[in-house]
Structure 1
Amino acid sequence: MRTTTTFALAALAVPLALAQTTSSKRGLCYVNTTYSNTDDPIWDSGNSDLTWYYNYAYTPTSGIDGTKLQYIPMLWGAPPSNTDMTFYNNVKSLIASGTQVKYVLGFNEPDGCVSGGSCVDAQTAAKTWIREIEPLKKEHGILLGAPAVTGSPTGFTWLQNFFTACAGNCSADFIPVHWYGDFEGLASHVGQVNGTYPNMTMWITEYALAEGSLADSQTFYNQSANWFDSLSYVTHYSYFGAFRSDVSNVGPNAAMLTQKGQLTDIGAWYLGQKATGNTPKGDAAQVAKFAGWAAVVLAAMMWVMT
């Protein structure tokens, strides 16, 4: 198993002075909220560092469609019919209309059955993949992202069962990773994923320090972004916090926007800009509408790879 100790220790030493960096790896994990129409222009502004986005769906987001951000369609879960071809047909339509589709993502947290997990058993997911996702690679050369399981131990088991059920008929090109915990746990988890699937590149498609203090959240961001940029096998990453702090379900301090829609320091750094000094505040009465993992955050934070 490939270890991550050297990279992790180096990232831990990153000073905040290096927070303003740029990277072509950065993308947007688009989260739909009541503020989205107002905030959409931020992500595609002239001084934004982002190059791609996904929105847990297979239809582009109207507010940023046709911009410099490359759209990545996702088949979030398995359709009820075992003959359904909706995802395949929609991606084909996007291509026919001139949209350049280089990658697709398959299944969001299928091992999770609450708070955004698609709750799909491995056998059903394999059949759906073979029917709707695999042909896109054979016909159009699209690179395929494996199911994005949760960061808990159940994710490894589910993914192993998925590839077994595929019986060699699911040719994933990269492994998406989700993590909500501290940097040491992130480093261990990424190391275990890379050791388990050493022949695939990796996308970190959801990550944040959940419910951390502002200082801890900023330190986590700086450590993780610097580390991801140093890893050749991590080709894409998307921070989970593309929403205002008052609708964040991973804590206001993780958000990229304040409650007024201003870039926080983390948000500005992520877009390759200087720190703003804008302090995020939260409102427990509001909840973000998103398709990510929340219910097993605590388990992921406490799990340490042996």
Structure 2
Amino acid sequence: MVLLQNFRHIACLAACVFLASPGRAMPVETSDTVLERGSGSGKRIILWETSLTSELKSIPGLLSAATALGSSGVIKSVTNWETKRPDEVPKKFPYRPMVRTPQHLEGDNWKNLISVVSSQKNTIVHFYNEPERNGIQASDAVASWRQKMLPLRQKYGAKLAGPGCASSDEGSAWLRTFMGMLADEEKPDYLNLHFYTLPSNPCDQEIRNAESFFSEKHKTYNLPVIIGEIASTSRDGAQVVEFTKEVSKWLDQPAQSWVVEYGFFGVSTGVDDNFVSPAAQMLDSKGAWTDLGKWWIGAS
């Protein structure tokens, strides 16, 4: 299997997420039933970057884009690499908060998280975003997992998604160490996997690579899978569309019922770094859904 080059392909997110204002109080949801079951029949996650919330005033089209999600029958949930729900996204979607870094285990970030899990039934909480690329040792992550994350399951009934490691040798080794240190009763409820293509590889090869990677990890750990991030990095727009649609089709098949949710990357108004493909963008600079974005939310 061809694996990703060992570099930080998601560095753009770090710049975006720190623009959030974690001190604002988390709104209390009024309908646990709707939030628990989700809104559509699909598995798709809207990866609503935190930067979009801060751009609402300067890019009015974003509010229309967020509102359009309300009629989607394929979107299942929303996440934003933070612990506070983006208020502009329809409340019909369950929110998946993320303890992205150790800093999210304390202060206002943690208060926001507790507000979510105490007001939204069966909340799925994501733990650490590509920790192997952020200098976090697996042993330290295990200690935090036991001290802070497991009590969320015990006290609030939250479901836990394990660390979202990259599909590189480094990421696989880190995940293997982390999982190997946990007792059976301490294991996460879901694996959280990332996959980005190599821009130089043909589309059909990367489709097979993605399918093999997810299947192998599911078989290895025998846990249901959430694909927290996936995208083609090709500069060929046709290949980006083909990869996105073909992999989505495969993930939606009954044979892949072990895949619970998956989120394609690119819900932002601009390309954040040289790794992300402009063709994978699901919003344009005015906040409107691109053709790929319309397809992703089921609007075309």
Fold match, TM over 0.5?
A: yes
Deviation at 1:246, TM superposition (A): 4.6
Change (3 A) 1:169 1:122: farther
Deviation at 1:44, TM superposition (A): 4.0
Change (3 A) 1:87 1:144: farther
| Structure 2 counterpart of 1:229 | 252
Query: What SS does structure 2 have at the residue aligned with 1:176?
Result: strand
Deviation at 1:207, TM superposition (A): 0.5
**Deviation string, structure 1 residues 164-196 (Cα, Å, up to 9, x no partner):** 333456230111111111312211211221121
Question: CA separation in 2, counterparts of 1:54 and 1:131?
Answer: 23
Do 1:246 and 1:258's aligned partners in 2 also have CA atoms closer than 8 Å?
no
| Structure 2 counterpart of 1:220 | 243
1:183 aligns with 2:207: yes
| Structure 2 counterpart of 1:26 | 44
Change (3 A) 1:252 1:238: same
Change (3 A) 1:125 1:41: farther
Q: How many residues align?
A: 243
| Structure 1 counterpart of 2:15 | none
Structure 1 unaligned regions, length at least 5: 1-21, 114-118, 275-306
Change (3 A) 1:85 1:101: farther
Q: Which of the pair is proportionally richer in helix?
A: 2
**Deviation string, structure 1 residues 272-305 (Cα, Å, up to 9, x no partner):** 121xxxxxxxxxxxxxxxxxxxxxxxxxxxxxxx
| Structure 1 counterpart of 2:30 | none
| Structure 1 counterpart of 2:77 | 52
Query: What SS does structure 2 have at the residue aligned with 1:33?
Result: helix
1:207 aligns with 2:223: no
Query: What SS does structure 1 have at the residue aligned with 2:229?
Result: strand
Question: CA separation in 2, counterparts of 1:246 and 1:206?
Answer: 16
1:152 to 158, 168, 175: 168
> Which runs of structure 2 are paired with 1:1-306 in the superposition (5 Å)?
23-33=41-51, 36-37=55-56, 38=60, 39-45=62-68, 46-48=70-72, 49-64=74-89, 67-79=91-103, 84=106, 89-96=111-118, 98-113=119-134, 119-168=135-184, 170-181=186-197, 182-198=206-222, 200-230=223-253, 231-247=256-272, 249-274=275-300
Question: CA separation in 2, counterparts of 1:246 and 1:110?
Answer: 23
Deviation at 1:223, TM superposition (A): 0.3
Question: CA separation in 1, counterparts of 2:67 and 2:112?
Answer: 24
**Deviation string, structure 1 residues 214-256 (Cα, Å, up to 9, x no partner):** 1001111110110110111111011101112454651110011
Change (3 A) 1:124 1:136: same
> Which amino acid in the other structure matches residue 111 of structure 1?
E
Query: What SS does structure 2 have at the residue aligned with 1:107?
Result: strand
Deviation at 1:86, TM superposition (A): 6.5
Deviation at 1:99, TM superposition (A): 3.6
Question: CA separation in 1, counterparts of 2:218 and 2:117?
Answer: 32
Query: What SS does structure 2 have at the residue aligned with 1:262?
Result: coil
Deviation at 1:269, TM superposition (A): 0.8
Change (3 A) 1:186 1:80: closer
Larger mean Cα displacement after TM superposition, 40-49 or 254-263: 40-49
Query: What SS does structure 2 have at the residue aligned with 1:51?
Result: strand
Change (3 A) 1:246 1:197: closer
Question: CA separation in 2, counterparts of 1:246 and 1:73?
Answer: 23
| Length-normalised TM-score, structure 1 | 0.72
> Which amino acid in the other structure matches residue 130 of structure 1?
R
Aligned-residue identity in percent = 25
Do 2:41 and 2:76's aligned partners in 1 also have CA atoms closer than 8 Å?
no
Question: CA separation in 2, counterparts of 1:227 and 1:158?
Answer: 27
Over the residues paired in the alignment, what is the CA RMSD in angstroms?
2.4
Change (3 A) 1:193 1:76: same
Query: What SS does structure 1 have at the residue aligned with 2:261?
Result: strand
Query: What SS does structure 1 have at the residue aligned with 2:191?
Result: strand
Do 1:244 and 1:261's aligned partners in 2 also have CA atoms closer than 8 Å?
yes
Deviation at 1:87, TM superposition (A): 5.8
Deviation at 1:101, TM superposition (A): 4.9
Deviation at 1:29, TM superposition (A): 1.1
Do 1:245 and 1:256's aligned partners in 2 also have CA atoms closer than 8 Å?
no
Larger mean Cα displacement after TM superposition, 213-222 or 23-32: 23-32
